[in-house]
Amino acid sequence: MDMPFAPEFEAEMLENQRQLDKLFGSFNGIIVVDEAYQDFTENMSFIKRLEDYPNLVVLQTMSKAHGMAGARVGFAFSSPEIIELFNRTKPPYNVNELSQKAVLEALQNEEKTKSEIQEIINNRDFLVEHLNSFNFIKEVYPSEANFILAKVENATQVYNYLRDKGIIIRNRSSQIEDTLRFTVGTMMECKAVITALREIKEI
């Protein structure tokens, strides 16, 4: 929310901020904000608002931008009082030593992580541009994550076609009708998806 916005969006963002302040300030309970994909957006992290909202908990993970889902490591940021409650109720064992070492090494290599995140953002832009060129893709939804959701005509047929080509995406049609989720991979993988989609015209 601290990123520069075009003037036409400024009033909307200020109103959103007022609504958040009202919600956070009046809610008699703990508010949890999941920032698993925070690294892929320019929007401000809610970590900067912890002093404003003592009932706020912000969750982040090493699974997405750092590619360390197997380490099963995440972070909770909150007031000392809430963190104390977490410490009282958590299991007796902390994160294993191997995961701790892997996380520390990743966090210390900040430039490498920034470069990899920027590569994913660039590849995401590439995918969005090309997905929008297909007439059977009805809408590509805005994304600030490492995946893209698109509304697709005959989504299950497209999903099965890509699967048979060895390209694994996710069919989200059971949650949102006729939608497919494309995870942003390497440029080679993104180009392979686009090439396969072009061939669908020939089915």
Considering the domain delimited by 7-108, tell me its CATH architecture.
3-Layer(aba) Sandwich (3.40)
| Whole-number pLDDT of residue 9 | 54
The answer to whether residue 2 scores a pLDDT higher than 50 is no
- Do 7-108 and 112-200 agree at the fold level? no
The answer to whether residue 155 scores a pLDDT higher than 50 is yes
Domain ranges of the chain: 7-108, 112-200
The answer to whether residue 203 scores a pLDDT higher than 70 is no
Rounded to two decimals, the pTM is: 0.78
Length of the chain counted residue by residue: 203
The CATH homologous superfamily for domain 112-200 is Aspartate Aminotransferase, domain 1 (3.90.1150.10)
Q: Lowest-confidence range among 7-11, 129-133, 156-160, 180-184?
A: 7-11
Task: Report d(CA 121, CA 159) in Å as an integer.
Answer: 23
Q: Could you tell me which residues come within 8 angstroms of residue 107 by beta carbon, excluding any fewer than 6 positions away?
A: none
The answer to whether residue 62 scores a pLDDT higher than 50 is yes
The one-letter code for the residue type at 28 is N
The answer to whether residue 27 scores a pLDDT higher than 80 is yes
**Number of alpha carbons in the 13 Å side-chain half-sphere of residue 193:** 26
| Whole-number pLDDT of residue 10 | 63
pLDDT tens figures, 93-117: 788 889 999 999 988 988 988 999 9
Which whole-number Å values give the CA distances from 74 to 44, 103, 125, 183, in the listed order? Answer: 19, 10, 27, 21
3-state secondary structure of 152: strand
